[in-house]
Amino acid sequence: MRHCLNLIIEAYMFRRQTQAVGIVALILFVIGCATVPITGRRQLSLLPTSQVLELSFSGYRQMLSESTLSSDKEQVAMVRRVGQRIANASDQFLRDNGMAAEVKNYKWEFNLIEEDSTVNAFCMPGGKVAVYTGILPVTKTETGLAVVMGHEVAHALANHGNERLSQGLMQQLGGVALEVALANKPQQTQSLAMMAYGVGSTVGVMLPYSRTHESEADHIGLILMAKAGYDPREAVPFWERMNNMGGGRPPEFLSTHPAPERRIADIQKELPEALKYYSP
């Protein structure tokens, strides 16, 4: 998901780079908060849903046009079967919790991309999902795949795309305001201040929010997969397998994801809640 959200953000920022005044007006006009389903966390949601969906669907089409779709009928069928069960659970959750009007925003689509070197999957805003073949050896089973699909669909259900775009706009707006405030200062002072702002806002705000999104998607994903009839306890061995793949990792405060040990511990704490929704 992170890669494709970056595509959306880049497209959006490119359109707005020279329109600082327009950004301010947009934020003042649409500024507001939303609530994340299941967790109840209040989140920043500045952009119209229609605009986020337009960017998402366009980015997804572009990504598919540049990718090779898998011709393995059995694997493709499994991805679509698991995805649809998770999507049905997501839609039903929205209906059961007084958010039936939001169901229309999800145009579910599931594709398997032939790329064995990429251990990844994502769900873009509006329910556009892609799974890379490289993650299937790690998921191992249909239930393992449901762990991944539940997590990715949870990002869409929690409206993380809009929130991340909104945070990016606020970060950009803060930079514009700082530039204006320092306009009469020496160039070296301006450069140092902008550098400090960039590092501070990224490490102090953007990265912690990114880790919050990942943890939140783990939590919501457990419940979605349980409601879809998949055993949420399989999330622990899946993330242990992901952790055992190794590779260098930055310190948690510099990472977009929680530390693996923390992630697994949090999932174990959340399993009793998820199991209430599980019926084999």
Tens digits of per-residue pLDDT, 209-239? 367 788 889 999 999 999 999 999 999 999 9
CA contacts within 13 A on the Cβ side of 21: 0
Out of 12-21, 127-136, 148-157, pick the least confident. 12-21
Instruction: Judge contact between 194 and 200, C-beta under 8 A.
Output: no
**Active site members:** 152
Position 213 scores a pLDDT of 82
Tens digits of per-residue pLDDT, 31-89? 456 677 677 777 676 778 888 889 889 999 999 999 999 999 999 999 999 999 999 99
Q: pLDDT band at 28, cuts 50/70/90?
A: very low
* Domains of the chain, residue spans: 2-68+151-275
SS3 238: helix
Q: Report the share of the chain in percent with pLDDT over 90.
A: 44
Instruction: Judge contact between 95 and 103, C-beta under 8 A.
Output: yes
Candidates 209, 210, 217; CA nearest to 154 is 217
Position 153 scores a pLDDT of 94
Q: pLDDT band at 178, cuts 50/70/90?
A: very low
Instruction: Judge contact between 134 and 117, C-beta under 8 A.
Output: yes
Q: Amino acid identity of 167?
A: Q
Can you give 115-183 as a three-state secondary structure string? CCCCCCEEEECCCEEEEEHHHHHHHCCHHHHHHHHHHHHHHHHCCHHHHHHHHHHHHHHHHHHHHHHCC
Tens digits of per-residue pLDDT, 147-176? 999 999 998 988 877 777 766 665 565 444
CA distance 257 to 211: 5
Instruction: Judge contact between 140 and 239, C-beta under 8 A.
Output: no
